[in-house]
Amino acid sequence: MQRIPVTERPDLARAAAEHGLEYTAGEGITGWDERAYYQFMARQVDEDIEAAAEEIEGLCFQIVDRALGNEEVLRRLGIAEPFWDYMAESWRNNEKNLYGRMDLSYDGNGPAKLLEYNADTPTALYETAVFQWEWLEHAIEAGLAPKDSDQFNDVHESIVKALPQLGVGALSHFACNPDIEDDTETLKYLEECAGEAELKTCFLAMSDIGIDDQGRFTDLDHRVITTLIKLYPWEWIMNEDFGLHVPRSGVQFIEPPWKAILSNKGMLALLWGMFEGHPNLLPAFFEDDPAAASFADAGTYVRKPMLSRQGANIEIVRGGKTLHHTDGLYGDDAHIIQGFQPLPEFGGHYPLVGCWLVASKAVGLCIREDKTLVTGRNARIVPHVIAD
Amino acid sequence: MKRWNSVPAALVMSVSLIALTACEEPKVDAAVFESLQQCKDEPGMLADQCEANFNEARNQHAAVAPKYTSQEDCQADFGDGRCEQAPYKTTSGGSVFMPLMMGYMMGSMLGGRSSMISQPLYRPASSPNNFRTADNRSAGSTTGRTRVASSATSRPSFKSSTIRRGGFGSSGRRFGSGAT
């Protein structure tokens, strides 16, 4: 695994406009940086990332299976009781999952370590699936990357193939918070994929969803929503006014309700509890667990909220001192304590390896770089190539 | 494939149950009846349960059934004498037609999914022995306890009347992005 500095496309502004990405002169594309790329060997991607991610997915399913039958665990994850049966049913009925992104700490050697699993509302999808691929074609042509370079990137094809197999109804609704560009772009891209798969779609704001006198959710044309592909976290849905109507709404949600177990960082503690010592896992404990206190006593650990987004409210402690911490809106919530596996550093850049799963199959890679050990909202995606 | 070599067989099974990407849709337990009486005659079914489910399906019929503006078009899809006038008018005052309800699929029953709802079933002219849901999904031809594709058990769609909006979105306004 190497970081190779290269020149960015001279017509980057045009490429950005073509793809609807935000471009600022002097700064480039928001969330994207092609002034370098990461080069992996095929073995590193196949064995250390792809195989590891799918193996972790298998472990996660065992966690879901166990957690849904355990009230104490559900309570610990902060999931409200009215949703317990609903989530368990969605699991028993094999309600299908579409996608997720595992964030791994990996430096090219040894096992990748799971830092977290964005199993419910992952973004950076379009940049991974489409923009990164287009960059590779340019990079090979311009001689920036070896002629026989490849990329771990079947994301687009996999999504187009998976969407029609989810058992969606005649019309699929797509909903998010439209005020957030990143969320909207990701969801619009998924809607495009659905269009390519010849599904009928309708895009709306979460706040535009209505309810009828029989507890069904409706769109702005009063059509009853039967499938909702949402880029809106499950814990928000459950806590909002319409939340209690969800279990009897008859809506098929993508991601399905059981994913709420996996998008919760408490899942990392459950994983460690069940598979302690697994090479791809870091020690992790619920903060109120006595084992967390004894682990933290050693002085080096990471403290994370169970439900936070984009690197918010994370504290890294090394040798008893705070090495790094981030602010955010999630500091009052329940936390986990996790082992500290620093991201590798390449000249002041800290790459986080994200492995995309579509229908539980590892299908692509996106590297996000930040200038600190915590990958936050200013992180930028840096493309990758595979070349031996 | 090589990536599964190191994974125990039991694990592969649990994964394949979920990642049903290339396989057929999973089936779920259901009960299908032509009439309320047929349900009551079925061993193990409670009359009250049959009635409650029948009523739930019956009450949805007019709202969810496919709609036509001519009797002929409706009969072409559902057969002669198998359509009725819907309790609606077109915006220009014309009649609306819909197929007769020819059976129903029970929602709540022992061992079934509790959030599944009862719904009316129809028989298409093209295969009169089969049941279809109002959303044109196959519910098979078997009556009594049976298994149907899980998509057939989803709530049938229809034009509804929204009574309230805005029950979602407050967390997004507070926290911003829901992305991870």
Q: pLDDT tier at A223 (50, 70, 90 boundaries)?
A: confident
Query: What is residue A380's predicted lDDT score, i.e. its pLDDT?
Result: 96
**Model confidence pLDDT, tens digit, residues A132-153:** 999 999 999 999 999 999 999 9
Residue A269 lies in a domain: no
A163 and A117 part of one domain: yes
Of A314, A338, A362, the residue at which a domain comes to its end is: A338
Phi, psi of B92 (to 5 degrees): -90, 10
- Return the pLDDT at B38: 95
Higher pLDDT, A329 or A209: A209
Q: DSSP states of B90-108 as a string?
A: -TTS-EEEEEPP-EEE--S
What is the rounded CA–CA span in Å between residue A84 and residue B14? 21
Chain A residues whose CB is inside 8 A of the B19 CB are 359-361
Q: Which of A97, A120, A252 has its CB closest to that of B18?
A: A97
Q: Are residues A296 and A349 in the same domain?
A: no
CA dihedral A362, A367, A368, A372 (to 10 degrees): 120
Residue B179 resides in a domain: no
Range(s) of the domain holding residue A10? 2-263+345-386
Residue of B nearest to A253 (CA): B154
Residue of A nearest to B136 (CA): A170
Same domain, B60 and B113: yes
Contacts of B160 (CB under 8 A, 6+ apart): A212, A214, A216, A218, A222, A223, A224, B63
Q: Between B108 and B19, whose confidence is greater?
A: B108
On whether residue A275 sits in a domain, the answer given is no
> Do residue B109 and residue B149 come from a single domain?
yes
Same domain, B106 and B75: no
Residue B60 is assigned to a structural domain of this protein: yes
Specify the pLDDT at position B6: 28
Domain match, A302 and A362 both? no
Does B51 share its domain with B96?
A: no
Number of structural domains chain B divides into? 2
Question: Which of these ranges, A43-52, A196-205, A273-282, A326-335, has the smallest mean pLDDT?
Answer: A326-335
Q: What is the ipTM of this complex?
A: 0.89
Q: In the structure encoding, which two tokens stand for residue A61, read together?
A: 């399913």
Based on the fold, state whether residues B86 and B105 are members of the same structural domain: no
- The pTM of the whole model exceeds 0.90: no
Q: Is the pLDDT of residue A221 over 70?
A: no
- Name which of B6, B28, B180 is nearest A118 (Cβ-Cβ): B180
The answer to whether position B35 is within a domain reads yes
Which one of B23, B24, B59, B155 would you mutate to disrupt binding with A, by most A Cβ within 10 Å of its Cβ?
A: B155
Is the C-alpha dihedral spanning A7, A13, A15, A21 positive or negative? positive
Nearest by CB: B178 against A176, A214, A242: A176
Partners of residue B12 in chain A, C-beta under 8 Å: 58
- Average pLDDT (A47-57) is 98
Sign of CA dihedral A241, A214, A246, B53: positive
Residue span of the structural domain in which B142 resides: 24-65+101-155
Mean pLDDT calculated for residue range A185-195: 95
Is B161 domain-assigned?
Answer: no
- State the pLDDT confidence band at B15, using cuts at 50, 70 and 90: very low
Domain-located, residue B139: yes
Q: What is the pLDDT of residue B91?
A: 52
Cβ–Cβ of B161/A222 closer than 8 Å? yes
Whether A49 and chain B come into contact, CB under 8 Å, resolves to no
Indicate if A246 and A293 belong to the same structural domain.
no
Residue A274 in any domain: the answer is no
For A219, name the nearest residue in chain B, comparing CA atoms only: B162
Residue B2 domain flag: no
**Is residue B14 domain-resident?**
no
pLDDT at B13 exceeding the cut of 60: no
Question: Does residue A349 sit in the same domain as residue A333?
Answer: no
Residues of chain B contacting A121 with CB distance shorter than 8 Å: 178-180
Question: Is residue B9 predicted with pLDDT exceeding 60?
Answer: no
Q: Residue A217's pLDDT is what?
A: 94
Is residue B111 pLDDT above 60, yes or no? no
A333 in the same domain as A369: no
Q: Does A278 touch chain B (CB under 8 A)?
A: no
Nearest to B180 among A50, A167, A309 (CB): A309
Task: Examine residue A268 and state whether it is found in any structural domain, yes or no.
Answer: no
Closest CA to A353 of A362, A312, B78, B149: A362
Q: Are residues A291 and A381 in the same domain?
A: no
The minimum CA-CA distance between B5 and chain A, rounded to whole Å, is: 10
Residue type, B137: R
Same domain, A67 and A137: yes
The answer to whether the Cβ–Cβ distance between A89 and B179 falls below 8 Å is: no
Is there a contact between A171 and B19 if contact means CB atoms under 8 Å apart? no
Put simply, the answer to whether B157 touches A169 (Cβ < 8 Å) is yes
Computed over every residue of chain A, the mean pLDDT equals 94
Of B4, B17, B171, Cβ closest to residue A240:
B171
Sort out which chain A residues have CB atoms less than 8 A from B180's CB and list them.
Answer: 101, 116, 118, 120-123, 233, 263, 309-310
Q: Which chain B residue shows the shortest CA-CA distance from A64?
A: B14
A218, B15: Cβ pair inside 8 Å?
Answer: no
Both A356 and A333 in one domain: the answer is no
- The torsion of the CA quartet B141, B144, B148, B150, rounded to 10 degrees, works out to 140
Residue to mutate among A61, A161, A206, with most B CBs inside 10 A, is: A206
Instruction: Output the CA–CA distances (angstroms, integers) from residue A217 to A223, A243, B133, in the order listed.
Output: 8, 11, 20
Q: Which of B6, B12, B179 sits opposite A310 (nearest CB)?
A: B179
B16: pLDDT confidence band, cut at 50, 70 and 90? Answer: very low
| R_g over Cα of chain B | 21
Contact with chain B for residue A237, Cβ under 8 A: yes
- Cβ separation of A309 and B28 shorter than 8 Å? no
How far apart CA A210 and CA A242 sit, in angstroms, is 9
Same structural domain, A369 and A314: no
Alpha-carbon gap, residue A265 to A334, rounded angstroms: 10
Residue A23 is predicted with a pLDDT of 94
Measure in Å the smallest separation between the Cα of A140 and chain B Cα atoms.
Answer: 29
How many distinct structural domains can be found in chain A?
2
Inter-chain CB proximity A207 and B169 less than 8 Å: yes
Contacts of A72 (CB under 8 A, 6+ apart): none
Do A52 and A104 sit in the same domain of this protein?
yes
Residue B56 domain flag: yes
Say what the pLDDT of residue B114 is: 55
User: In terms of domains, do B123 and B48 share one?
Assistant: yes
Is residue B45 domain-shared with residue B108, that is, in the same domain?
yes
Residues of A (54-93) whose Cβ lies below 8 Å from B:
54-55, 57-59, 61-62, 65, 85-86, 89, 92-93
Q: Does any domain span residue A272? A: no
* HSE, side-chain direction, 13 A CA sphere, residue A350: 15
